[in-house]
Amino acid sequence: MSDDRIVEVRNGSSWQLPAIIVLGLVALGGLAFGWNASSKLDSTQAAVATQLKTTEQTVQQDMSSLKDRLAQDEKANTELQGDLKVVTSKLKITQGQLKKAREEAAKLNDATTQKVAALDTTVHSELATKATTDDVKTVDTKVVGVKTDLDATREDLKMARSEMGTLIARNHDEIDQLRRLGERDYVEFTIVGKNKPTKVGNVTVELKGVNEKRNQFSAAVTVEDKQFEKKNRAMNEPIFFYLSGTHIPQEIVVNKVGKNTISGYVSIPKANAPAGSTAAKSGN
């Protein structure tokens, strides 16, 4: 009886040990699988985080570049608008000066006609009321004086005018006539030889070439450290330029052309601010 029980106990413990071993192996396999899956998940998360960070940096760089381009475009647009306003302002000033010059010329013609009519009326009136020799001599003197003024006015009107209404002097005598008007200062010059910068008034003129047959010349003009070159300009053709802070142009006129030599003058408006302002804009 006791032997049978011993046999049953031994038989019962014989299947439990393998089962425990199998369960242990399964548990170890599960742990290994879980650890492997966890490692892959961590690696995937790290890769995704790195990619997200790289993408974010790229997007930020693109946004920064886009902002810089936008700022540059806005700056360029602002500068273009400023240049447009300056050009529009200069055009209005030029048109106003041209209109004013035409009105002054018309007034001058009217004034001349009125002087002649007044003189004719005065002469006939005085001759009709006074017949003595002395009176006639006095009238003759007045006639001569008015005639002289009239001749001077006519000579003034014979001078060529630029598109801005300024009178163009073709020789020294005409320059003296313009000086007497008192509206501008005139600085005469003669340049002999090419590539020799010469200071004239508040500008520097440098002869580049001469075409005697066509009465043309080429020159470089430097105004307040800024240079602009005019090629194949005709004699008595004014070159206009503005000083900063001024609204009336200065002009350079060459009225004599020779072999490697030019002569002319610089015309400076007295209404402009004193010379020495900065920046210049060439015109015409």
User: Tens of pLDDT along 185-201?
Assistant: 899 999 999 998 999 88
Average pLDDT over residues 195-222: 90
Q: Please report the pLDDT score of residue 155 as a whole number.
A: 54
C-alpha closest to that of 222 among 238, 236, 243: 243
**Residues in contact with 256: Cβ distance below 8 Å, sequence separation at least 6, in sequence order:** 235, 262, 263, 264
Q: How far apart are CA 200 and CA 255, in angstroms?
A: 15
Q: Please report the pLDDT score of residue 282 as a whole number.
A: 44
Q: Please report the pLDDT score of residue 132 as a whole number.
A: 56
- Where does the pLDDT of residue 149 fall: very low under 50, low under 70, confident under 90, or very high at 90 and above? low
Residue 92 tokens, joined: 């209005």
- The one-letter amino acid code at 272 reads N
Name residue, tokens 């393998």. Answer: 18
Q: How far apart are CA 13 and CA 57, in angstroms?
A: 66
- Residue extents of the structural domains in the chain: 44-158, 168-283
Q: Please report the pLDDT score of residue 120 as a whole number.
A: 66
**Residue of 15 and 242 predicted with greater confidence:** 242
CB contact at 8 A, 142 and 134: no
Q: Please report the pLDDT score of residue 7 as a whole number.
A: 46
Angle between helix 133-158 and helix 172-181 axes, rounded to 10 deg: 110
Segment among 57-71, 76-90, 234-248 with least mean pLDDT: 76-90
How many other CB atoms are there within 10 angstroms of residue 223's CB atom? 21
- Where does the pLDDT of residue 25 fall: very low under 50, low under 70, confident under 90, or very high at 90 and above? confident
**Residue of 124 and 43 predicted with greater confidence:** 43
Q: Please report the pLDDT score of residue 284 as a whole number.
A: 52
Residue 276 tokens, joined: 């020495």
Q: Please report the pLDDT score of residue 151 as a whole number.
A: 58
Q: How far apart are CA 253 and CA 187, in angstroms?
A: 10
The pTM assigned to this predicted structure is 0.43
Q: How far apart are CA 226 and CA 243, in angstroms?
A: 11
CB contact at 8 A, 267 and 240: no
End-to-end CA distance of the chain: 138
Coil, strand or helix: which one is 58? helix
- Where does the pLDDT of residue 164 fall: very low under 50, low under 70, confident under 90, or very high at 90 and above? low
pLDDT at 183 exceeding the cut of 60: yes
Average pLDDT over residues 43-55: 81
| Alpha carbons within 13 A on the beta-carbon side of 135 | 11
Average pLDDT over residues 157-176: 75
pLDDT at 270 exceeding the cut of 80: yes
pLDDT at 131 exceeding the cut of 90: no
Q: Please report the pLDDT score of residue 139 as a whole number.
A: 53
- Where does the pLDDT of residue 54 fall: very low under 50, low under 70, confident under 90, or very high at 90 and above? confident
Average predicted confidence (pLDDT) for the chain? 76
Q: Sheet holding 184-192: strands in order across?
A: 184-192, 261-269, 250-258, 239-243, 280-283
pLDDT at 252 exceeding the cut of 70: yes
Q: How far apart are CA 168 and CA 161, in angstroms?
A: 6
The helices-and-strands tally (H runs, E runs) of the chain is 3, 11
Q: Please report the pLDDT score of residue 41 as a whole number.
A: 77
pLDDT at 72 exceeding the cut of 80: yes
- The one-letter amino acid code at 17 reads L
